[in-house]
Amino acid sequence: MNAAIRPSAPAAGGALRSLGFGLGLRPPHYSQIAETRPNVDWFEVLSENYMVPGGRPLDWLDRIRADYPIAMHGVSLSIGSIDPLDEEHLVQLQRLQRRVQPAWISDHLCWTGVAGANLHDLLPLPYTEPTLAHVVERVGQVQDRLGCRILLENVSSYVSYPSSQMTEWEFLAQVAQQADCLILLDVNNIYVSSVNHEFDPLTYLDAIPVERVQQIHLAGHENRGDLIVDTHDRPIIDPVWRLYEAARRRFGDVSTMIERDADIPPLPELLAELDLARQIAARVDTDCGRDGSRRAA
Amino acid sequence: MQDRRAQARSELAGLQREFQGYVLQRDPAVLDRVRGTGAADAATRMNVYAEGYALRLLEALETDYPGLKAIAGADEFEALGRAFIAEFPSTYRNLRWYGDRLAQFLLQAPAWSDRTELADMARFEWAMATSFDAPDAACLTRETLAGIAPAHWPHLIFVVHPAVQRVRLQSNVAAAWSAQARGDCVPVSRRDPYPTTWLLTRRQLQVRFRAMAPEEASAFDRVAARAPFQVWCSELGAIVGEQLAAARAVECLNQWLAEGALTSFVLDSA
């Protein structure tokens, strides 16, 4: 089942074909995945976790890559930072890209630090024309460097800026169009931010260009009452599933995966959650008279 | 146009610096530049980022230093972790490397510098982590060495495997580490007037460690410094006696080969 996935260089505009339903590859599940080859269509790895010289993590990655398509997902590109792009980080990203031959490479539409610091968080940008130009220029540099289009993910946020001149969804769509990159649409993040900033999540979905969406993320979060925090430490809640259903109706057969980064449960629990995503997708596809193939833009 | 771009860039830079200032030092300047609501004011919202930063770094330290947490206790570990985080903001793209200066910090911070077993444990655990994901390399085998002509042996320079680490410890933190890994009670650490050198190797991608005898540690120091076989063998003789030197050297070498501590050799051209 070693799928020969080309390393993401489609013609401008369109997204790649769907890989189906995936999970985040996490160390507690390495051996079970390698030994039992569970019913997961593909895995997403956190790129930075494998930017190490050698040893067991890379060995597991190689073994699981032999059986499954892999997408690389980064958290430290800091595409919106005012700092220069981190040359060493790009070198390591390219090195991993050569090793893994991923289906695609993604990171976040955010910044992670300035003046050399890294806050290890996905920090929101002010949605202004100058920020847009800044990000578009840097996405171009990264894509030239990697030789492929990248996916940028919308982040959960807890603050917004009065200086913003457009909405987050307008900004995301503009970045994708102007930089000719793809979108990793995190449905949970849309839900989290819609509560934190009091907007309609369906308005967000409706503004995203269909042909740019390459992947969907699903995850759980913590509701603290005054704010929702994107923790990836618990199951997906019903409102997020409903939003996923709406996303599936709009975007069609888009590669979908579940992220769990803390309090990681046994693999069967995540497989059951993934089956729920499959069931929702199948129901939507039946309702829409689709066979699972991608909807035209 | 250039001026407008520069000004816009400067505004973004200012916002990001102020945002970061809040996360790292609770500098309130950014609060005027972010939006709060009735549900959560600006400070409440920024605190999600500030608290999240410290918690993520603490979690990274816990991952790399479970033994240190075990011997320090959870509360003390959090205290030293937060002090370390305050002094050393992360500059790493990968959290894996955060914490590289923890042992040095513990040796120098007045609150912990008299508890040398803490710095010992930190050095030991960092060496383990470094070995864990060090570069891969083939291991030198006895079969390969068996084919070397006797005349070449004095001139052999061995290359140490990149996963090998050595660490000199004054306390029994290795035993304490093993105890916590088994889920057992951690024995009280003690300070030993004679430091022991521990050898960390990686076999089948698993890090292993053992104490080295003093003469073996000296010999390995010379091997790592690329001294030819005849040189470190002779120096070994000065410790164990000339008559026993060759036998002890072969004994050490066999053990290192079995442990995968060597990766190759070259002939000394000097």
On whether residue A41 sits in a domain, the answer given is yes
Q: Nearest C-alpha of chain A: how many angstroms from B165?
A: 14
- Give the pLDDT means over successive 10-residue stretches in chain A (297 positions): 38 72 97 97 98 96 98 98 97 98 98 97 97 96 98 97 97 98 98 96 98 97 94 95 98 97 96 98 91 52
Range of the domain at A280: 21-287
CATH number, domain of A95, equals 3.20.20.150
User: pLDDT at residue B232 above 80?
Assistant: yes
Nearest to B125 by CA among B108, B103, B141, B110: B103
Helix (H), strand (E), coil (C) string for chain A: CCCCCCCCCCCCCCCCCCCCEEEECCHHHHHHHHHHCCCCCEEEEEHHHHCCCCCHHHHHHHHHHCCCCEEEECCCCCCCCCCCCCHHHHHHHHHHHHHHCCCCEEEECCECCCCCCCCCCCECCCCCHHHHHHHHHHHHHHHHHHCCCCEEECCCCCCCCCCCCCCHHHHHHHHHHHHCCEEEEEHHHHHHHHHHHCCCHHHHHHHCCHHHEEEEEECCCEECCCCEECCCCCCCCHHHHHHHHHHHHHHCCCEEEECCCCCCCCHHHHHHHHHHHHHHHHHHHHHCCCCCCCCCC
How does pLDDT run across B241-261, given as a tens digit for each residue? 999 999 999 999 999 999 999
Q: A56: which chain B residues are within 8 Å (Cβ-Cβ)? A: 132-133, 205-206
Q: Is B86 on the interface with A (CB under 8 A)?
A: no
Residue B172, SS3 per DSSP? coil
Q: Is B12 on the interface with A (CB under 8 A)?
A: yes
Distance from C-alpha of B99 to C-alpha of B105, rounded to nearest angstrom? 10
Distance from C-alpha of A29 to C-alpha of A26, rounded to nearest angstrom? 6
Q: Nearest C-alpha of chain B: how many angstroms from A270?
A: 23
Distance from C-alpha of B223 to C-alpha of A294, rounded to nearest angstrom? 62
Which residue of B lies nearest to A119 if distances are taken between CA atoms? B53
Q: Is B94 on the interface with A (CB under 8 A)?
A: yes
How far does Cα A207 stand from its chain's mean position? 18
pTM attached to this predicted model: 0.93
Looking up tokens 């590289």 gives B100
On whether residue A5 sits in a domain, the answer given is no
On whether residue A10 sits in a domain, the answer given is no
Which of A86, A158, A224 should be substituted to probe chain B, the one whose Cβ sees the most B Cβ atoms within 10 Å? Answer: A158
Contact B48 A227 (CB under 8 A): yes
Q: Which domains does chain B have, with CATH numbers?
A: 2-114 (no CATH), 142-267 (3.90.930)
Q: What is the pLDDT of residue A297?
A: 37
Residue B101 structure tokens: 């200066």
On whether residue A219 sits in a domain, the answer given is yes
How does pLDDT run across B179-228, given as a tens digit for each residue? 999 988 777 667 778 899 999 999 999 999 999 999 999 999 999 999 99
The DSSP code for B92 is: -
Q: Where does residue A156 rank: exposed (0-12), middle (13-18), buried (19+ CB within 10 A)?
A: buried
The number of domains in chain A is 1
Q: A226: which chain B residues are within 8 Å (Cβ-Cβ)? A: 39-40, 44
Task: Name the pairing type of β-strands A70-73 and A42-46.
Answer: parallel
